[in-house]
Chains A and B, each alone.
Chain A
Amino acid sequence: MSIMEYNGGSVIAMVGKDCVAIASDLRLGNQALSISSNFQKIFPVTDRIYLGLPGLATDVTTLRERFRYRVNMYTIKEEREIEPETFAHLVSSTLYEHRFGQYFIEPVIAGLSKTPSGGVKPFIAATDIIGCLNFAKDFVVAGTASSKLFGVAEGLWEPDLEPEDLFETISQSLLNAVDRDAFSGWGAIVHVITKDKVTTRTLKGRMD
């Protein structure tokens, strides 16, 4: 029995043209027994940053609460919103603090960072359970279907996708990956973050 596979679940994030997308499945299980088909693993951090937390479900909630607290404290002290890069390091150091008694979570971060010229730059990152950062330029995956996600996303993804095409790409990647994973699935949710809005869609998927 692997702790990382105890509850199941997967997350993927992708970069597009001036946009990013992050998506996850909605299953919560106890090993092979499914408990819920509406377990959220992706949380908004700011208007422009979303955080995916696949892994042990108790740590999903604990870390969500912890990051909410630490981001609130940052916002109050700094009197400004946290930037995705900064938040990624906050995630990393929070996880590394527990190097010898880990949270069983592999976080995925997706957001838009501000550029000096006033525009936005897509940002994605992921870490392992002890906070080793991976800044990818294309896509990041995590969770029980990660190997499947790598395969499909590597085949479907291309640079500079517009928001609607990015949505289709990330949705197809997720859906086809979780359909081959016994621990992920039972519905999916996709967030596409653009300069002026976040589009959230709940997907109908196979329920088996």
Chain B
Amino acid sequence: METSFALTGKGYVIVAADTTAARSIVKMKVDEDKIKELSSHLLMAYSGEPGDTVQFAEYVERNIRLYQIRNLYPLRPSAAASWVRRSLAESLRSRNSYTVSLLLGGYDLATHTPNLYWIDYLGTSVEVPFAAHGYGSYFALSLLDRYHDPEASLEEGLATLKRCIDEVSKRLVVSPGKYKVKIVDKDGVREVEL
């Protein structure tokens, strides 16, 4: 089943999402990138109803880009989270709503702080030190309660993420095989291999 994690540390946010695209019991694809790079310092992991996910993620991506083109500066993470949240909240009370879960991780260049937002399909948005979506959250959140440190170095942060991924692999019956991991910090976004 689809799983995504994210955690903040000293000056960075790590976002991880599994890479499987499944339909019913069949794995259709095992190298799907489910983390969009919305801007130079903004990442968004998305999961949920197949179809809705890519459609909504691309809608967000284009609008965030449009804002940047129009205003010559990008939306800050908190502003982007507000916009995405409102899009989902308005969608929820429309005839066809998007069923998408998001983790929005960004580095705020104005305050020099890492920001992470947990957003669900209802339009619930909350800033958190760490977050998870999917069945993996039932395992990862308790681990993160124990091991998360907002002052941790990137190496320590990745080690904590590894714990989460390993635990899910070990205990979840329908665990995903591979994850894509991306980081955002003052230097921007980049992908890392675990």
With both beta carbons as reference points, the residue of chain A lying nearest to B90 in the complex is identified as: A62
With both beta carbons as reference points, the residue of chain B lying nearest to A103 in the complex is identified as: B93
Contact check, A35 vs B131: say whether CB atoms are below 8 A apart.
yes
Contact check, B89 vs A35: say whether CB atoms are below 8 A apart.
no
Interface presence of A58 (CB below 8 A): yes
A57 to B128, CA, bound (A): 15
> Least Cβ distance of A2 to chain B in Å?
14
Contact check, B89 vs A58: say whether CB atoms are below 8 A apart.
yes
Classify the interface of chain A: helix, strand, loop or mixed: mixed
Given A33-B137, A33-B141, A61-B89, are A28 and B123 also a contact pair (CB < 8 Å)? Answer: no
> Least Cβ distance of B123 to chain A in Å?
4
Given A33-B138, A33-B141, A35-B131, are A57 and B124 also a contact pair (CB < 8 Å)? Answer: yes
By a CB distance below 8 angstroms, the chain B residues around A172 are none
Interface presence of A30 (CB below 8 A): yes
Q: Mark A17-32, 1 if CB is under 8 A from B, else 0.
A: 0000000000010100
Interface presence of A125 (CB below 8 A): no
By a CB distance below 8 angstroms, the chain B residues around A34 are 141
Number of interface residues of B (CB under 8 A): 19
Contact of B120 among A30, A65, A101 (CB under 8 A): A30
Interface presence of B182 (CB below 8 A): no
> Least Cβ distance of B101 to chain A in Å?
10
Most chain A CB within 10 A, of B93, B120, B124, B141, is at: B124
Within 8 A of B (CB), among A34-48: 34-36, 38-39
Given A61-B89, A62-B89, A101-B93, are A36 and B122 also a contact pair (CB < 8 Å)? Answer: no
Interface presence of B85 (CB below 8 A): yes
A56 to B131, CA, bound (A): 19
By a CB distance below 8 angstroms, the chain B residues around A58 are 85, 88-89, 92, 120, 122-125
By a CB distance below 8 angstroms, the chain B residues around A30 are 120
Number of interface residues of A (CB under 8 A): 16
Contact check, B141 vs A61: say whether CB atoms are below 8 A apart.
no
Contact check, B141 vs A57: say whether CB atoms are below 8 A apart.
no
Given A57-B126, A61-B123, are A36 and B141 also a contact pair (CB < 8 Å)? Answer: no
Given A61-B85, A61-B89, A101-B93, are A28 and B120 also a contact pair (CB < 8 Å)? Answer: no
Interface presence of A10 (CB below 8 A): no
A28 to B120, CA, bound (A): 12
Interface presence of A7 (CB below 8 A): yes
Q: Mark A52-87, 1 if CB is under 8 A from B, else 0.
A: 000011100110010000000000000000000000
A101 to B127, CA, bound (A): 28
A70 to B77, CA, bound (A): 25
By a CB distance below 8 angstroms, the chain B residues around A101 are 93
Interface presence of B118 (CB below 8 A): yes
A65 to B5, CA, bound (A): 28
Report 28 cross-chain contacts, Cβ distance below 8 Å, ordered by A residue: A7-B124, A28-B124, A28-B126, A30-B120, A33-B138, A33-B141, A35-B126, A35-B131, A36-B118, A36-B126, A36-B128, A38-B126, A38-B127, A38-B128, A39-B126, A56-B122, A57-B124, A57-B126, A58-B85, A58-B89, A58-B92, A58-B120, A58-B122, A58-B123, A58-B124, A58-B125, A61-B123, A101-B93
A→B interface (CB under 8 Å): 7, 28, 30, 33-36, 38-39, 56-58, 61-62, 65, 101
B→A interface (CB under 8 Å): 85-86, 88-89, 92-93, 118, 120, 122-128, 131, 137-138, 141
